[in-house]
Amino acid sequence: MANDDIKDRFYEELELVYDLIPEYDAKIVLGDFNAKIGQEEIFTPTIGRHSKHKESNGNGIRLVSFATLKSLVVKSTMFPHKNIYKGTWKSPDGVTVNQIDHVLVDNRHKAVIEDVRSFRGADVDSDHYMLGIKIKAKIKAIRKTDRPGQPVMNTENLKDEAVRRTFQLELHNRFNGLEAQDDVDEAWVEVRDIVKEVGLKVIGKRGSCKKRKWWSKECDMAMEEKRRLRALSLQDHKWEIEYTEKRNFLRNLIRQCKRKHLEDQLSQVETLMRSNASRKFYQEVRAVKKGYQPTVQFLEDDAGNLISDPSEMRNEWRRYFEGLLNCPPVETDINVPEDTSHSTQTEIPTFEEVRKAIMRLKNNKCPGVDGIPAEIWKYGGGSAV
């Protein structure tokens, strides 16, 4: 049997290899870990409730700790099968059967594995039984766009009275310097560019969402120190004790940061609920509860086949609307006299009518092709109207 140092080095190498895989990929770790995983209540979120064994051995604790640290789940102990379909290795005594081969998958893609069980009848010339895994992959179509990404204005800052006044003043000064244009399209382009420039300058743009919000600078420093000590320990064994201490310190630090981040999230949700900020409250709740949701772009044709190619999808939409809109005219014998009482000429809307129409626009909606949200026009003052 391997000693503890060899086991620690194995999981350390496994952790380094695992971290090299892109975060958005589905990561599956499987093999013979010689790990008996039990049915401890504290490990239920990671291992489920359907393990063959009642208690975990040392290797099982190591495997569960690795899965917890890397946000993995052990799918081989999560499906309700008979014990004869859970065992993966038969002891040389010919009687004892243990479940020591396991399948782990990252929590984000845990739904892709639909079943795990052993097949005792398969002749694989080994003391291990063949392990069958049923996987249903979710294929995501690549979305291509010719339009470059536009910075999104942070309209939440307009709730600040000082920011709103500064924005209105800056917009008023810029519009006063405009010269009259004969071409309406050219005038609109000039107005649009000024509004976007002033908006990004005064209220700023919305920042990207940080993936690991719990990760701190202290974690970065501890990680760099751990890597340095590991490189030294590979060259000289006298650094192994210090490296082991730093590794344990980093693990505890990561747990503390995650726990503190969760507590901060719950505290923020409670504060939002008390302040009646319903929109922000539900955003925070969804961020914690919803998790990762892959976006899949498929289209089904008349025959029931799935289409993922963008050109084929456009052709399918074209055929659908041609059949929907180009229908033959309805023949009728009813003669409806033409109404000539209404004139096609309308009066130019007044300033107050335009202002009321703009103020009826809803907030927090996606902007159009110009990239200007409705809040910019509503809170831009009389100059924006």
- What value does the mean pLDDT take over residues 163-181? 82
pLDDT of 3-57, one tens digit each? Answer: 888 898 899 999 989 988 888 788 999 999 999 999 999 999 999 999 999 999 9
Give the separation between CA 66 and CA 68, rounded to whole angstroms.
Answer: 5
Q: Where are the beta strands (DSSP E) in 112-271?
A: 113-119, 130-135
Q: How confident is the model at residue 140 (pLDDT cuts 50, 70, 90)?
A: low
Question: Any idea where the domains of the chain sit in the sequence?
Answer: 4-135, 217-289
Give the separation between CA 281 and CA 294, rounded to whole angstroms.
Answer: 23
Domain 4-135 in CATH 1.20.1290.10? The answer is no
The full DSSP string for 83-149 is GGGT--EE-TTSS-EE--EEEEEEGGGGGGEEEEEEETT---SSSBPEEEEEE-----PPP--SSPP
DSSP state of 236: -
pLDDT of 85-130, one tens digit each? Answer: 999 998 888 789 999 999 999 998 898 999 999 998 776 768 899 9
Please tell me whether the overall predicted TM-score, pTM, comes out greater than 0.85 for this model.
no
Question: Which tokens belong to 88?
Answer: 């993966």
- What value does the mean pLDDT take over residues 171-188? 80
pLDDT of 252-300, one tens digit each? Answer: 999 999 889 888 888 888 888 888 888 888 888 877 776 555 555 677 8
